[in-house]
Amino acid sequence: MEKQVINTSGAPAPIGPYNQAIKAGSTLFISGQIALNPETGQIEKDNITSETHRVMQNLRAILTEAGMDFSDVVKTTIFIMDMNDFSQINEVYGKYFSGYFPARETVQVAGLPKGVNVEISMIAIK
């Protein structure tokens, strides 16, 4: 099976030894994205709503680079620092999908990179 590295300047560059995404055959595995603005290099976390929008915009850029969109997403994982933020995150997240929603789990964690409040990873199939 052919594997292809997917990287785009429309999403933040990796901050460790990983890639933004790997496409294996028709399946795209997207690394967890945080609210890092790819143009400024700054974390956008004024509030959980804007932070979640930035995460979803980063994910969209990677999907686009791979020739996909949110309709191709079959699985997501949402990591959050505070389960009290779940409803706001969920509201923003839901706006990026139409029709069928992907399978998903949401977990509260003890810490995330760069002190962010939310990180989301995805699997998509075309």
Domain positions in the chain are: 3-125
Fold observed for domain 3-125: 60s Ribosomal Protein L30; Chain: A; (3.30.1330)
Which residue, 30, 19, 21, 17, is CA-closest to 119? 30
Whole-angstrom Cα distance, residue 120 to residue 99?
20
Give the tens place of pLDDT for each residue, 30-69.
Answer: 999 999 999 999 999 999 999 999 999 999 999 999 999 9
Query: Cβ(119)–Cβ(112) under 8 Å?
Result: yes
- Mean model confidence pLDDT for the chain: 96
Rounded to an integer, the average pLDDT of 71-79 is: 98
- Please tell me whether the overall predicted TM-score, pTM, comes out greater than 0.95 for this model: yes
Give the tens place of pLDDT for each residue, 6-21.
Answer: 999 999 999 889 999 9
